[in-house]
Structure 1
Amino acid sequence: MAPRPLMIYEPDPFRILSLNCHGLNIPERRTQLLRDLYARRISIAFLQETHFKEGAAPMLKSKHYPNAACSNHPTARRAGVAILLEAKLQFREADRLSDANGRYLLHKGDIQERRYTFATLYVPNNNQAQYIGKSLLKLSSFTEGTLILGGDFNVPLHRLTNSSTGHSCITQGALRNILKSLRNLRLVDCWCAMHPDDREYTHYTTIHKRYSRIDYIFMQQEQLTRIQTAEIGAAHWSDHGPVTLKIDSPRMRPTSWAWRLQD
C-alpha cells in the first residue's frame, strides 16, 4: 500500500501589541515599526501617538499589514491612533468609530465567524478620569463579541505598583472613578492578571524622574483564561516599552506533513 500524506496542524494564537509610537511621520520609524511587528509575528497592533494629520497622513502598511484603521488629528501632527491587523487574520469589518481629535478608535468585525471588538485609546495628560469615563461609555454601546482594548492611559492606575515613586499624577478619587469605569465593562489589566506580584514599567518621565506603567491591554474578565503570556518589552526606537499579549484563538496553522498507509 502506498503511503498518503496528511497535514499536521497546531493552534495559532493571536499575538497582540500596544505601543505609544511617539510619532510615525518619519519613514524610517514606520519601517522600523512594521519590521518589528512582523518579527514578533504580531496579529493585532494598537498604536498611539502616530502624529498623523488628517488629509496629510503618510502610508502605514506592508504586505503583512496591508491595511491600517486610523484616527488622525484634524489640524496638527499630534495625537493619532491606529489599529493594524495582520493580513492572514482575514478580518471582515462590521463597523468603525473614531474620535474627531485622533484620541480613540473602535473597530469591530469577524474572524472565522467570531465577532471581535478592538479598541485603542490615547488619553490626554489632564482630566484623565473624565476622558476615560466618556470613552468607555462609547465603547460599551459599540462592543460586540470579545473585547480587547489597548492604550496609553497617561496615568498609573495603582500608585504603589505602577509608579516607581509611589505617586500618581491624579487624585485617589479620580483613580477610583477610572477603575469603576473599567469594572463596569468587566475589563481587567491583562499584564497585572498574569504578574500580580511583579513590578515593571513602560515609560520614564525625565521631568519627574519617575518610571511608570501607563500602557495597558485589557480584556473582559471571562476571557482571561485565553491568555497564554503577557509581557512588557524594552523601549527602543520609541520612548515607551511595548505591551504584548498572546491569547488562544480559533486559528490553526500547518506545521508538517505526516505519512500513513492507505487503509
Structure 2
Amino acid sequence: MSLQLLSWNINGCNIPEKRKKIFHILKKEQLDIICLQETHVTRLHRKVLINKRLGQEFISSDKVKKRGVVIYAKESLSPKFLFKDEHGRILAIEIQYQGEKLLILGIYAPNEGKSEFYKKLQGTMLDHLDYNNIIMMGDMNGVVSTNMDKSQSQNITKDGRLPKTFFEMTDNMDLIDIWRTKTH
C-alpha cells in the first residue's frame, strides 16, 4: 500500500463556506497526509483548522492573517510533531510507515528573501539528519528553470527561481518526489 499525499495552496480559509468546501473535497479523497499552505488563520483562531475526519492536525501559523501551514496525518501513521517556525512557513512532523520513520516537511516559502529562508531551513534540517526519508510538501514559490516554467502568467524573472541554497539543502538528502495534481 502506498501513501496517499496531497499538497494544496488554498489561498485562505477564514470564510466558513470556503473552509467547508475544502474539507469536503479533502475528506472524499481518503488521503493519508494532507499539507495545506497559505491558510491565513491566526494562532488565536487555529481551532478552525481542526478536522479529525482528515487526521491529526499540526499547525504553524502567524499572529496575523497571513501565511500558515497545516498538516493532517492519519492516526494509523503515529504522527508526532517535530518543529515549526513562528511565521507560519515551516512545519515538520514524523510518521511511521512500513516500519520506517519519515520526516514530513510542510513549506510555504516567501516570494522575496528566498535565499535567506532556504539557508535557515537548511540549518534546521541539519539537526534532523537521522531521517533517511524526507518528504517535502508545499508551495516553494519558485521554479527550477525559468525556461521550462509553464506559468500562464507573465514571464518569471530570475527572482522567481529557487535559490541555490534550496538545491544545496536537498543535495544531502534522499528526497521522495511525489506529485499529485488535482483540479478543483
Question: What TM bracket, shorter-length normalisation?
Answer: 0.7 to 0.9
In the alignment, does 2:177 pair up with 1:232? no
Q: Distance in 2 between matches of 1:231 and 1:95?
A: 24
Q: Distance in 2 between matches of 1:130 and 1:62?
A: 33
Q: TM-score, normalised by structure 2?
A: 0.84
Letter in 2 for 1:20: N
Aligned to 1:151: 138
**C-alpha displacement at 1:94, in angstroms?**
4.2
Q: Does the 8 A contact of 1:65 with 1:86 survive in 2?
A: yes
Q: Does the 8 A contact of 1:94 with 1:110 survive in 2?
A: no
> SS of the counterpart of 2:45?
coil
Q: Distance in 2 between matches of 1:233 and 1:160?
A: 24
> SS of the counterpart of 1:185?
coil
Q: Deviations over 1:174-203 (max 9, x none)?
A: 733432222232436x3xxxxxxxxxxxxx
Report which of the two has the higher share of strand: 1
Cα 1:37/1:171, change in 2 over 3 Å: closer
Q: Does the 8 A contact of 1:24 with 1:51 survive in 2?
A: yes
- 1:2-151 correspondence runs (5 A): 12-73=1-62, 75-87=63-75, 90-111=76-97, 113-143=99-129, 144-151=131-138
Q: Give the RMSD, CA atoms, in angstroms.
A: 2.4
Q: TM-score, normalised by structure 1?
A: 0.61
Q: Distance in 2 between matches of 1:33 and 1:70?
A: 16
Between the two proteins, what is the percent identity of the paired residues? 22
Cα 1:57/1:68, change in 2 over 3 Å: same
Q: Deviations over 1:138-164 (max 9, x none)?
A: 123225242111011111121111244
Q: Distance in 2 between matches of 1:134 and 1:19?
A: 23
Letter in 1 for 2:31: I
Structure 2 residues not aligned, in runs of 5+:
none
Max radius of gyration: which structure?
1
Structure 1 residues not aligned, in runs of 5+:
1-11, 191-216, 218-229, 237-263
